[in-house]
Amino acid sequence: MKWLSSIKNRVPQLSLWRKGDASRPALEPHIIPRDNHPISRKNISDAALKVIARLRSAGFQAYLVGGSVRDLMLGKHPKDFDVATDARPEQVRELFRNSRIIGRRFRIVHVRFGPEIIEVTTFRGSHEPEEAEPPEGRRAPHGVAVRNADGMLLRDNVYGTVEEDAVRRDFTVNALYYTTADFSVRDYTGGVPDLHARLIRMIGDPATRFREDPVRMLRAVRFAAKLNFTIHEQTAEPIYELAPLLSGVAPARLFDETLKLFLAGHAAQTYELLWEYDLFPVLFPATANAIEADESGIYDELVMLALANTDRRVSQQKPVTPAFLYAVLLWPALKREFDSEVAKGVPVPLAVQQAASTVLSDQQRHISIPRRFSLPAREIWELQWRLPNRQPRRVQNLMENPRLRAAYDFLLLREEAGEQLGGLGEWWTRYLEGDENTRAQLLKSIQGRDGGRRRGRGRRSR
């Protein structure tokens, strides 16, 4: 990308300031004119261009900002487009009847065009933060952010200028602004050189910014995996110490973040980075304990194989489901808990049920998994103990089970990871792919192996 080389290092020096500091320097952007960058309006969503045009016609500033500008600068095709403006949320709402205001921590506006949503944010400003959340019954003063005792921002509805907004963003590569006024790109924080150097660099003091919002640690990993960038040394250094702060993030929010981490097409690399920066054990503590205790390495290999398969499906635009993802991510914890129950003398069917309940209940304290995903995951697990029972009637019942295909795929992953299952995966592959005669022969071979003995209790006498 010749345009990157031509403007390398020609960016402003960044410094953060506090609101009300009269001596703060003016932050002048490096302006990249239309002829010196690769962004074309034909690659920008029509809906985003409409939002920008209406805001500007109403007398407001409006920029395309964030990941969409970053990806366009890298020659990629973004799926989502965000707009930043000096219009307040209520003013944006008045301009667009097809919009609604959402959010509490920082209010934003979603403008809907059919299935597409354009996210519109008001320029964020610098602020004098309170040290802690105000007492119950007392509201924070206007223009003052609210933090908890760990420094996490609880409220941040403080508005400012485009310059202040730039330094309130997380990473330099996400703080690029594209304007349709002259079709230029404005770089306030050195994002363009970091694109050139393939670096994820935090704006401001990394430790402070991570404390403000611990999810930024996950975002750093996600962008590094997605873009194949390196996290800058000074940005990476505090993560090891501050990773436990993720425990204070709402479990529902972490569910959304894990979907972004693992269902965006870069799950395998993301998984490795989460381990590298000590983040995975905070998100999945029981799974992490099981993997670390597993000398065979089978559990870790299973997760890696499943995530690599997920990445392939995403690249092929095939559907992926969080239910299967969580069945994989929590399997090491489930299997360890199951083995513990069996060792206590608990019957296998009951041990499976109790282990699943324990693992899912414990995980909900960290990541809130909706029932529409946890229930199918649980069914996939339970089928792992039903698939070995290949009596004709049991097999017929399994063939009618809507989770059979997912459970079968899971079984193959277990075998590929190194579990010794006596050729069970091959038997089911032949059965599922075979014709009627092949299936009959396979069932007969199982009956012959068992000597025709009937398993389980007979039908109860009436």
Residue 300 annotated among the catalytic residues of the structure: no
How many CA atoms does the CB half-sphere of 46 hold within 13 Å?
Answer: 3
Identity at 5, one-letter amino acid code: S
The pair of structure tokens assigned to 151 is 């420094």
Q: What is the dihedral of CA 270, 80, 104, 86, to 10 degrees?
A: 130
Residue 435 annotated among the catalytic residues of the structure: no
Cβ contacts of 215-218, under 8 Å, gap ≥ 24: 215/246, 215/249, 215/253, 215/254, 215/257, 216/170, 217/242, 217/243, 217/245, 217/246, 217/277, 217/279, 218/246, 218/257, 218/261, 218/279
Q: What is the DSSP letter of 122?
A: E
**Alpha-carbon span 368 to 365, nearest angstrom:** 7
**Alpha-carbon span 210 to 39, nearest angstrom:** 31
Residue 170 annotated among the catalytic residues of the structure: yes
Catalytic residue (one of 71, 86, 156, 170): 170
Catalytic residue (one of 82, 187, 300, 311): 82
List, in sequence order, every residue forming a beta bridge with 65; answer none if it has no partner. Answer: 82, 177
**Alpha-carbon span 425 to 258, nearest angstrom:** 30
Instruction: Answer for the pair 53, 111: CB distance below 8 angstroms, yes or no.
Output: no
Residues serving a catalytic function are 80, 82, 170
